[in-house]
Amino acid sequence: MTSDDLLARHRAVLPSWMPLYYAEPLELVAGSGRRVTDAAGRTYLDFFGGVLTTMVGHDIPEIREAVERQLRTGLVHTSTLYLIRRQVELAEKIARLSGIPDARVFFTNSGTEANEAALLVATNHRRSHQILAVRNSYHGRSYATMGVTGNRGWSASALNPLQVAWLHSGERLRGLLARLDAADRVDAAVEDLREVLATQTAGEVACLIAEPVQGVGGFVHGPDGLFAAWKKVLDEHGILLISDEVQTGWGRTGEHFWGYQAHGVTPDLLTFAKGIGNGFALAGVVGRAEVLESVPAISFSTFGGNPVSTAAGNAVLDYLLDHDLQGNAARVGAILGDGLRAATAGLDRVAEVRGKGLMLAVEFVHPGTVEPDAALTTRVFEACRAGGLLVGKGGLYGNVIRMGPPLTLTEDEAREGLAILVDAIRASIEA
C-alpha cells in the first residue's frame, strides 16, 4: 500500500476541514530520537515533534519501558472512579512544579479539554460567562475553546457560547501596538485592557485566558511583564488569569519552566497538554483549590489521567528534570536562534526571527513591508522537507515557519537543521 492510496482513502473518509501538511502529504511510520522515517523509507530531522508534542524525542527507552511496564500489568484502563497510583504521583509533581499555591490538578486527554475545564471552573467561580481573550490566540477546537480563539481560520463555528471581548496581544510587528518599544507596549496593552473592560463588558467578567507565547499564532508574544501588568488590573475586579501553557510549558522556552514565569506573576489557573505525554494523550488544568473546587457538580473523565498516559507522563517528567532539558532548550535554542538571526540578517523577506528556547519562528513578508508572504513561506516549508527537515507553519496569515523540536535536540542536530533551513530560505527567495 502506497501513501498515495492512503491519501485517497483519507480524503474519502475524513472531513475536508482537517488540514494536511505538504502538497504531497507525508505518512510517518517510525521515529528515533529527533528523527522520523516516512513510508518510502526517507528519514527527516524532526523540528516540529508533531506540534511541539514529542517533547523528549521518539522511541526514548525510559518512556517506552514505563509504558510497557504498565501494559504488562494487563490494566490499560480503570476510569478515574478508581485510585490510579501514577495519576496521583504525577498530580503531586505537577502541583509542586506549577508554582500555584494549594494547587489541585485535573487530568484530561487534550489541551482543548484542559482549557474547556479551566473555562468551566472560571465561569462558575465568577458566576459569569464574560471572558477576555487575546487576538491571534488558539485554545482548542471545542465549542467554548473555539469561542476564545482569536483566529477566525481556526474558529470553525461563528456561534459563540461565551461573551468574549478581545485584547491586543502586545505583539511587535503589526496592529495598534506595533512600533512601540517594549515598555510602551505594556502600557498600551494595559490601557487597551482598561478600555475593553470599561466599554466592551458589563458586570462581572470571569477570566482572561492567554498564551505566554502564542503557538498557532506564530510564536508571537508581548513583552515580558505583560501578564503581571494585566493581572494588576484584573485583581482590581477579581478577574481570574488562565495561562494556557499547552505549548510553552515544561521548560521549552529555556528561560523558565512555564511561560508565565517570564511575566513575574502567578496565574490562577494553568493548562497543560502536548509535551507531557510525549505522544500519549495527557493534558490537564492546575488551579488553586479555592478556584478549582468551584465546579458545581461532580465531574469526571473516563480516560483523563489513565494508567498508561500517566505512566508515560511520570517517565517524561522525570526524564525532563533528570536531564535538565530546560537548560538544553536554552543552550541549543540559542545556537539555533542566533544562527538563524545571523543567517537571515539583511534579508528583506524576513521580518523577524523570534521566540524563546526551542520555540522559534521566522516570519516572511514582501520586501520593505510587513505584508505577509504566505507563498514564500510555503516554498520554504516544502524546501525544508525536500532537504530532510520537518518544520511547522503557522501565524494568522500563514507566513510563519515554526520550530518546536524535541527538547533533547543536540547541538549537532541544531546546526544540521539550521543549515537545511537557511538553504531552503535562500533558494525559496531566489525562486
Residues that bind ligand PMP (CB under 6 A): 51, 110-112, 115, 138-140, 211, 215-216, 244, 246-247, 273, 283
DSSP 339-358: HHHHHHTT-TTEEEEEEETT
Amino acid (1-letter code) at residue 48: F
In the complex, minimum distance from the CB of residue 247 to ligand PMP, in angstroms, rounded to a whole number: 5
**H helical segments located in 142-181:** 143-147
In the complex, minimum distance from the CB of residue 388 to ligand PMP, in angstroms, rounded to a whole number: 25
Q: Which is nearer to ligand PMP, 192 or 211 (CB)?
A: 211
* CA–CA distance, 253 with 333 (Å, rounded to integer): 9
In the complex, minimum distance from the CB of residue 202 to ligand PMP, in angstroms, rounded to a whole number: 28
Amino acid (1-letter code) at residue 210: A
* CA–CA distance, 332 with 364 (Å, rounded to integer): 23
* CA–CA distance, 7 with 360 (Å, rounded to integer): 30
In the complex, minimum distance from the CB of residue 245 to ligand PMP, in angstroms, rounded to a whole number: 8
In the complex, minimum distance from the CB of residue 65 to ligand PMP, in angstroms, rounded to a whole number: 25
In the complex, minimum distance from the CB of residue 423 to ligand PMP, in angstroms, rounded to a whole number: 28
In the complex, minimum distance from the CB of residue 198 to ligand PMP, in angstroms, rounded to a whole number: 28
Listed residue (424, 422, 412) closest to 35, CA to CA: 412
Please return the burial class of 21, using the count of CB atoms within 10 Å of its CB with bins 0-12, 13-18 and 19+.
middle
Q: 115 with 140: CB under 8 angstroms?
A: yes
Q: Which is nearer to ligand PMP, 115 or 309 (CB)?
A: 115
Query: Beta strand 240-244 with 207-210: parallel, antiparallel or unpaired?
Result: parallel
- Residue 242 has φ and ψ, to the nearest 5°, of -105, 120
Joined grid coordinates for residue 178: 506595533
Residue 92: CB atoms within 10 A of its CB come to: 12
DSSP SS3 for 47: coil
Q: Which is nearer to ligand PMP, 138 or 364 (CB)?
A: 138
Q: Which is nearer to ligand PMP, 110 or 399 (CB)?
A: 110
Q: Which is nearer to ligand PMP, 283 or 429 (CB)?
A: 283
Q: Which is nearer to ligand PMP, 115 or 278 (CB)?
A: 115
Residue 231's Cβ-side half-sphere holds a number of Cα atoms within 13 Å equal to 17
In the complex, minimum distance from the CB of residue 4 to ligand PMP, in angstroms, rounded to a whole number: 27
Query: What is each CA distance from 27 to 7, 142, 164, 267, 275, in whole angstroms?
Result: 9, 27, 38, 39, 21
Q: Which is nearer to ligand PMP, 51 or 120 (CB)?
A: 51
